[in-house]
Structure 1
Amino acid sequence: MSWNKDTLLTLIEAQPNWVVEPEGECLNISNDEGIDVFVYVGNQQILVETALFSAANVKDKDRLNNLILRSHQLVPLTSICIKNIGDDEYYIAFGALSIDSKESVVLEEIETLFNNVSEFLELYSDDLNMEIVL
């Protein structure tokens, strides 16, 4: 199956612990812990991402970036990048998969990102100027 926004919306709406709303070209999925994930279906891949924290909340960006490069592989199936959202930079956790992925793989990617958010926040909390509430 080759996914598009509408077929993905149908799949996600059937999941009992998630709430999904179309938002522009993306789908905004919330889990029962209040974490929001955005899913975008492109021509070749599906991107699943969530903002972890603002770069403005980082004590020492060079130190944190070094730590991320050395540790993010400890958290399965998820990578981290820095992305502009509006006028601010954010650290983003994301996963990418083929547009032709099986249904179970798509659901696993979304669920894994939900699970990995708390792991990343715990792993990097000492480098932030904010308290993490999980």
Structure 2
Amino acid sequence: MSWNRSALLKLIESQGSWVVESEGDCLAVSNDEGVDVFVYVGGRQILVEAALFSTKSVKDKAALNELILRSHHYVPLTSVCIKNIANEDYYVAFGALSVDSKDTVVMEEIETLFENVTEFLDLCDDYLDVEKAL
């Protein structure tokens, strides 16, 4: 099966405990812990991502970047990048998979990102100025 936004919406809604809303070209999915992820479907891949925190909230960007580069392989199926959102840079956790992935793989990617957002936030906590964070 090659996924599109409407087929993904039906799959994610079938999960039951998540809230999913269509927002423009993406799906916004929230779990019961208040973590939000966004799911985009392109021609060749599905991208699942979550904004972690603004770069402005980081006390020492060089130290945090080194920590992420040295440790992100311990957090399965998730990478971190810096992305501009509404004219502000954010650290973003993301995973990508093929539009031809099985439904169980798609759901695993979303579930894993929900779990890994918490892992990354815990990992980065000492580098953040709490008053400036998301």
* TM-score band w.r.t. shorter chain: over 0.9
Q: What are the equivalent positions in structure 2 for 1:38-49 lying under 5 Å apart?
A: 38-49=38-49
| Residue matched to 1:62 | 62
Stretches of structure 2 lacking an aligned partner (at least 5 in a row): none
Q: How many residues align?
A: 131
Please give the secondary structure, in 1, of the residue aligned with 2:3: coil
- After TM superposition, the score normalised by the length of structure 1 is 0.96
> Which of structures 1 and 2 has the larger relative contact order (alpha carbons within 8 angstroms, sep 6+)?
2
| Residue matched to 2:100 | 100
Q: What are the equivalent positions in structure 2 for 1:54-133 lying under 5 Å apart?
A: 54-130=54-130
- After TM superposition, the score normalised by the length of structure 2 is 0.96
In 1, Cα distance between equivalents of 2:16 and 2:115: 16
Identity of aligned residues (%): 69
In 1, Cα distance between equivalents of 2:86 and 2:19: 25
Poorly superposed stretches of 4+, deviation over 2 Å: none
Please give the secondary structure, in 2, of the residue aligned with 1:39: strand
Matched, 1:32 2:37: no
In 2, Cα distance between equivalents of 1:130 and 1:117: 16
Backbone CA RMSD of aligned residues: 0.8
- The Cα shift of 1:16 comes to 1.2
In 2, Cα distance between equivalents of 1:7 and 1:16: 16
- What is the one-letter code of the residue matched to 1:120? F
- The Cα shift of 1:87 comes to 1.6
In 2, Cα distance between equivalents of 1:28 and 1:35: 10
Stretches of structure 1 lacking an aligned partner (at least 5 in a row): none
Please give the secondary structure, in 2, of the residue aligned with 1:49: strand
Per-residue CA deviation, residues 44-95 of structure 1 (Å, 9 max, x unaligned), is 0000000001100000111111111101111000000000001210000000
In 1, Cα distance between equivalents of 2:99 and 2:91: 25
